[in-house]
Amino acid sequence: MLSKNIEAALNKQIRIEAESSQTYLSMACWAEVSGLEGISQFMYAQSDEERAHMLKLIKYVNERGGHAQITDLKAPKTSYTTFKEMFEALYEHEIFVSNSINELVHITFSEKDYATHNFLQWYVSEQIEEEATAKTILDKINLIGDDKGGLYLFDRDIQQITVTSSVAINPK
């Protein structure tokens, strides 16, 4: 059974994940109408992934005797000056989500809700990967600079970007 405090904190995270999905969906739309098909497909996939994160939280809250709340969402930004600006916003957003997850983990630990603490470890690992991916993308964008050929190749190749996070490495 969830405490009211943890239930409220999880519901706050549900909203954050929903807003993340909407933010990335908006980014996908901007990229698509800007002729950046690869980037738009990447962002559509990110949006779907964030929605899956939200649904996982919803199911958990409801299964643990709480009531997941679906609330209104803050409208996301709809346009960007450059694709670099968009990916900088994505990176900043992932840091914000990581901080929110960390705060949630802290609450569960302080309330000795070890089941929820354990459940949230997946999100902790996921955020390490999300931040690493966003940082890798920004590094590649900085290498490209203003080179239009580089942008073309980046847009084509972004769907194949994979980052092996430190949490995914198994020491031998």
Tokens describing residue 16: 């954050």
Does the annotation place 50 within a ligand binding site?
A: yes
Instruction: Please give the pLDDT value at position 68.
Output: 98
Does the annotation place 106 within a ligand binding site?
A: no
Does the annotation place 53 within a ligand binding site?
A: yes
Q: Which domains does the chain have, with CATH numbers?
A: 4-165 (1.20.1260.10)
Quote the CA–CA distance of 99 and 81 in Å, as a whole number: 27
Instruction: Please give the pLDDT value at position 112.
Output: 97
Instruction: Please give the pLDDT value at position 167.
Output: 55
Taking the chain (172 residues) in runs of 10, the rounded mean pLDDT of each run is 97 98 98 95 96 98 98 96 96 98 98 98 96 94 88 86 57 52
**In whole angstroms, how far apart are CA 32 and each of 43, 68, 75, 116, 138?**
10, 33, 19, 38, 19
